[in-house]
């Protein structure tokens, strides 16, 4: 028994040698406090300041009575989160270190042992920073200070010569519903709202694997892979990829040259099984495994699902005007579904079980498409994974809604990085049917009387719409073309609003008759 134990320990040590070590922030003990107060309370990561206040009994239920009004003070405070992580000399020896935040909401400054290492200004971006020189053996203090987004929004809005439709919220890259909506109370929150971690590593590792279908017939599928490594590779490394299931497998490999940061592989599947949406067939998923090897040892590995399908938005002249439908694997699809908004104002409270329950019910109702609405969030990975496996197509808005947005270079650069990251994150999902620029922005500008409401002169109007067209007509589609060129892009939804004749002959329409139009429900 002792010999077996020694063998297992040695095997584990050899296997783990070179493997990146992750220290997840959700496993650490965190505290939070107002910047103006030294008294700290336990906090949860991922989480929000509202839920932490609620969990500690410091506020009442935000949704009870008039508590929404009573809790508006929270959005004007600066909040500080803090934890400690112990690291041994062995853990730090010959290692590089990075801190990675999957999501910070929104204006955060991160300190490590008193040294500022990161500033953030976008809830929807991932933040990845080298921190090797700031770590030490023993206890390391991590501090995250959140400045009030509501105050930042007011400050930015005050620099403009006119008011933009949507108000102060448009200057802040965070979930727009937090500022209040027709379905949502106003709770402008903050926090480490997604997982975060410290990564300790020595060898190169696989950062990203993009898969794309080069050819798909009944007898053959050809899949291309674009693989990105963490940093220029050293010598004697090899990338190996396997795609398939218990019946069909395909393999390919390539030797990595020193200095390479990316490479391409090609895989072929005989008699492929296609991915279908609900009602048209099985949502078949293959498992793709990519390994980076040093000799016979895998020093990094990525596994992900892959669905083989063709999917396009068809906009062609027809008897009514112009078509607007999806064609999946050559078959026109009658889209049946719903508009999806966050399941909770405080999205960190939504459990994986809740995601599974809702999406399973969606499938059981025979819906085959959900639209992720542009006033919410880019959803968690589990949402898209479940849509992949259940055969639910996703119309994916970018996070802009019912407003016009600033057009300065700092804002556009921030959005560009956001769009780049999200298209890269989501592009491998077969469920993603469409990228859509925004929710109702174009319709609002053309038909809701904003020019008169806000008193714009001709110069203002030209400038505002020019900024709109630059962002949604040039910046965003160019990034999609670079990162996910095989997917359709729709600049704004709806193409035409409810109530006009052309709404029913071309593009898409949002039917507001039973709500804004005060029509009876029977309509």
pLDDT at 352: 98
User: Percent of the chain at pLDDT above 90?
Assistant: 83
pLDDT at 14: 40
Which of the four CATH numbers 3.20.20.80, 3.30.559.10, 3.30.70.260, 3.30.450.20 does domain 311-504 have?
A: 3.20.20.80
Q: How far apart are CA 357 and CA 362, in angstroms?
A: 9
Q: Which of 165-179, 233-247, 323-337 has the lowest mean pLDDT?
A: 233-247
Identify the band that residue 260 occupies on the pLDDT scale cut at 50, 70 and 90: low
pLDDT tens, 81-105? 999 999 999 999 989 999 999 999 9
Sole residue written with tokens 């804002």 = 411
pLDDT at 294: 87
Q: Which of 7-16, 220-229, 281-290, 435-444 has the lowest mean pLDDT?
A: 7-16
Q: How far apart are CA 328 and CA 357, in angstroms?
A: 26
pLDDT at 249: 61
* Angstrom distances, CA of residue 211 to CA of 219, 290, 298, 497: 19, 11, 21, 36
Helix H or strand E segment including 432? strand 432-436
* Three-state secondary structure readout of 177-239: HHHCCCCCCCCCCCECCCCEEEEEECCCCEEEEEEEEEEECCCEEEEEEEEEECCCCCCCEEE
pLDDT tens, 369-412? 999 999 999 999 999 999 999 999 999 999 999 999 999 999 99
Whether 8 shows a pLDDT value over 50: the answer reads no
Average pLDDT over the chain, rounded to an integer: 93
pTM: 0.94
Residue range 464-490: average pLDDT? 98
pLDDT at 248: 58
CATH 2.60.120.260 fits 21-201, yes or no: yes
Q: Using an 8 Å Cβ cutoff, are 61 and 170 in contact?
A: no
Whether 17 shows a pLDDT value over 70: the answer reads no
Identify the band that residue 15 occupies on the pLDDT scale cut at 50, 70 and 90: very low
Q: How far apart are CA 211 and CA 288, in angstroms?
A: 9
User: Percent of the chain at pLDDT above 70?
Assistant: 94
**218: phi then psi, degrees, rounded to nearest 5:** -65, -25
Whether 189 shows a pLDDT value over 90: the answer reads yes
Domain ranges of the chain: 21-201, 206-306, 311-504
pLDDT at 9: 38
Whether 60 shows a pLDDT value over 50: the answer reads yes
Identify the band that residue 430 occupies on the pLDDT scale cut at 50, 70 and 90: very high
pLDDT at 233: 66
Give residue 330's Cα distance to chain centre: 29
pLDDT at 13: 42
Torsion of CA 429, 435, 440, 442, to 10 degrees: 170
Identify the band that residue 494 occupies on the pLDDT scale cut at 50, 70 and 90: very high
Q: Using an 8 Å Cβ cutoff, are 257 and 233 in contact?
A: yes
Q: Which residues, in sequence order, are bridge partners of residue 371?
A: 339, 395
Q: How far apart are the first and last CA of the chain?
A: 75
Class of domain 206-306: mainly beta
Residue range 500-517: average pLDDT? 88
Whether 295 shows a pLDDT value over 90: the answer reads no
24-53 residues labelled b (16+ CB within 10 A) or e (exposed)? ebeebebebbeeeeeeeeebbbbbbbbbbb
**Same fold for the domain at 206-306 and the one at 311-504?**
no
Residue range 124-150: average pLDDT? 98
pLDDT at 245: 62
Residue range 16-34: average pLDDT? 88
Q: Using an 8 Å Cβ cutoff, are 385 and 305 in contact?
A: yes
* Angstrom distances, CA of residue 47 to CA of 31, 32, 190, 348: 12, 11, 8, 5
pLDDT at 454: 97
Cis peptide before 494 (omega within 30 of 0): yes
Q: How far apart are CA 437 and CA 30, in angstroms?
A: 37
Q: Which of 12-16, 87-91, 122-126, 507-511 has the lowest mean pLDDT?
A: 12-16
Whether 324 shows a pLDDT value over 90: the answer reads yes
**DSSP 3-state of 470:** helix
Give residue 165's Cα distance to chain centre: 25
Residue range 157-185: average pLDDT? 98
Whether 246 shows a pLDDT value over 90: the answer reads no
pLDDT at 6: 36
pLDDT at 5: 40
């Amino acid at each position: 028994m002792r010999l077996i134990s020694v063998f297992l320990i040695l095997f584990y040590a050899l296997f783990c040698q070179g493997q990146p070590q992750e220290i997840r922030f959700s496993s650490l003990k965190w505290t939070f406090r107002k910047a103006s107060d030294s008294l700290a309370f336990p906090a949860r990561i991922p989480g929000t300041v509202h839920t932490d206040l609620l969990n500690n009994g410091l506020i009442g239920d935000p949704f009870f009575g008039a508590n929404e009004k009573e809790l508006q003070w929270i959005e004007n405070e600066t909040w500080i989160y803090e934890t400690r992580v112990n690291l041994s000399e062995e853990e730090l020896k010959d290692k590089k270190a990075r801190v990675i935040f999957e999501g910070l909401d929104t204006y955060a400054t991160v300190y490590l042992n008193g040294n500022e290492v990161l500033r953030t200004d976008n809830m929807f971006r991932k933040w990845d920073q080298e921190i090797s020189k700031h770590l030490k053996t023993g206890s390391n203090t991590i501090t995250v200070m959140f400045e009030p987004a509501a105050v930042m929004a007011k400050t930015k809005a005050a620099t403009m010569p006119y008011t933009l439709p949507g108000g102060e919220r448009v200057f802040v890259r965070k979930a727009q519903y937090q500022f209040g909506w027709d379905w949502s109370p106003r709770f402008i929150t903050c926090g480490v709202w997604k997982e975060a971690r410290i990564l300790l590593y020595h060898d190169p590792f696989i950062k990203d694997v993009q898969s794309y279908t080069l050819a798909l017939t009944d007898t053959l599928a050809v899949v291309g892979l674009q693989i990105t490594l963490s940093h220029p590779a050293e010598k004697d490394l090899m990338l190996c990829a396997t795609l398939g299931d218990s019946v069909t497998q395909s393999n390919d490999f390539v030797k990595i040259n020193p200095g390479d940061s990316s490479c391409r592989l090609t895989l072929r599947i005989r008699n492929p099984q296609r991915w279908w949406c609900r009602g048209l067939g099985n949502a078949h998923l293959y498992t793709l495994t990519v390994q980076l090897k040093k000799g016979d040892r895998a020093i990094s590995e990525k596994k992900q699902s892959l669905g083989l399908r063709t999917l396009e938005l068809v906009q062609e002249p027809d008897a009514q005007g112009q078509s607007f439908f999806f064609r999946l694997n050559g078959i026109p699809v009658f889209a049946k579904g719903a508009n999806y908004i966050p399941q909770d104002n405080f999205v960190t409270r939504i459990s994986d079980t809740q995601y599974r329950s809702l999406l399973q019910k969606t499938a059981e109702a025979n819906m085959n498409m959900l639209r992720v609405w542009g006033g919410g969030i880019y959803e968690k990975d589990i949402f898209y994974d479940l849509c992949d496996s259940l055969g639910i197509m996703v119309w994916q808005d970018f996070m802009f809604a019912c407003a016009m947005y600033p057009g300065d270079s700092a804002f556009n650069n921030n959005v560009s990085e956001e769009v780049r990251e999200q298209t890269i994150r989501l592009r491998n999902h077969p469920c993603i049917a469409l990228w859509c620029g925004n929710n109702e922005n174009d319709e609002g500008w053309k038909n809701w009387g904003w020019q008169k409401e806000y008193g714009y002169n001709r110069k203002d109007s030209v400038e505002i719409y020019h900024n709109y067209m630059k962002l949604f007509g040039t910046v965003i589609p160019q990034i999609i073309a670079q990162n996910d060129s095989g997917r359709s892009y729709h600049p704004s939804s709806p193409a035409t609003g409810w109530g006009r004749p052309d709404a029913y002959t071309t593009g898409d329409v949002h039917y507001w008759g039973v709500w804004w139009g005060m029509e009876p429900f029977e309509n």
